[in-house]
Amino acid sequence: MNGMTENHGHVPVMRDRMAELLRPGVEKLGENAVIVDGTLGAGGHTEYFLQVFPQVSVIGIDRDPIALENARERLRPFGDRFQPVQTRFDGLAEAVDEGQGSVVERAREFGIAGALFDLGVSSMQLDQPERGFAYKVDAPLDMRMDPTKGITAADVLNTYSHGELAHVLKFYGDERFAGKIASAVLREREKEPFTTSARLVELLYATIPAATRRTGGHPAKRTFQALRVEVNGELDALKNVIPMICDRLAVNGRVVFMSYQSLEDKIVKKALADLTTSKTPPGLPMDLPGTAPQFSLVTRGAETATEAEIAENPRSAPVRVRAAERIALPDGGVN
């Protein structure tokens, strides 16, 4: 660990491997290289990239104004090499295509050298109990990454129909007892609306069978994950951003996704498979004009963290990493 990274509490998840994956695009573009950190959070990955790639500039995207302000202060020593943008990460197209400033202008002119998406909730947000992401402390049921916009987790619990709520819990949380939990929520909210996490956790303990509670981690984990994904539209944003970033990569530019739950990883896996597969009809001996893939897979399957990386940051344990590199432009060019 070195410098400010150590001062901010932990080593970013797989930071050295992330830098290694992004290096080819950075070296190709040299002093014109721009990395997009699509999930800036506390700024740990961006800080490391700015340290190990002295020629690089970074566009840091986050919808959370608190995270953005903290990261801006943390990265102040790097001056105009860092450009923050407040938006959900699928606002990337507008940020790059219409944004102002020298960093964004270089990204437009030369293409993006690399991009990182460290998905899910950040450790910084988990460490702020008042945000309502953590189930181990009693806090308002908010869970919005941008606390100025949209519905809260309490709104979901208090207004969704049984079917809507059960779908959210089952699809986004893989919760076996989604229907049973939804029924219990509807009964309880008739007595009093949900406002804080402790009451929801108590309901989950009462609803999920004891035998199930003894395995599989905390009984609230899946429900809290599902509510967070619903409140923040996380899966829709992920589906939207993949073609956006790939369209704006330079040749040799790479995009890297770090997923912590299976739904995210499935979306990334399918999208990257589509991007790296020829569109020529099966059986032909060579690609027809305009059908060859413009991208190639960098990772074989999903990479996982090493024991050493998990020791550096335990949050690395569930991560699945997938990456792709641009190998050609739409016209077939490679420059």
Specify binding-site residues for S-adenosyl-L-methionine.
43-45, 62, 89, 118, 125
302 token code pair? 């999903």
DSSP 3-state assignment of 320?
A: strand
Task: Name the residue among 10, 38, 6 with its Cα closest to residue 22.
Answer: 38
CA-based radius of gyration for the chain: 21
Helix, strand and coil percent figures for the chain, each rounded to 5: 50, 15, 35
Question: Residues forming the annotated binding site?
Answer: 43-45, 62, 89, 118, 125
Any idea what DSSP says for residue 196?
A: B
Contact between 186 and 178 under an 8 Å Cβ cutoff? The reply is no
Helix (H) / strand (E) containing 197: helix 197-207
DSSP 12-55: PTTHHHHHHHHHHHHHHHGGG-EEEETT-TTSHHHHHHHHH-TT
Angle, CA of 229, 233 and 236, to the nearest 5°: 115
At residue 195, φ and ψ (nearest 5 deg) are -130, -30
Which of 127, 78, 80 minimizes the C-alpha distance to 100? 80
The phi and psi torsions of 320 (rounded to 5 degrees) equal: -125, 125
What letter represents residue 259's amino acid? S
Backbone phi and psi for residue 144, each to the nearest 5 degrees, phi listed first: -80, 130
- Pairwise CA distance, residues 279 & 290, whole Å: 8
Amino acid at 220: A
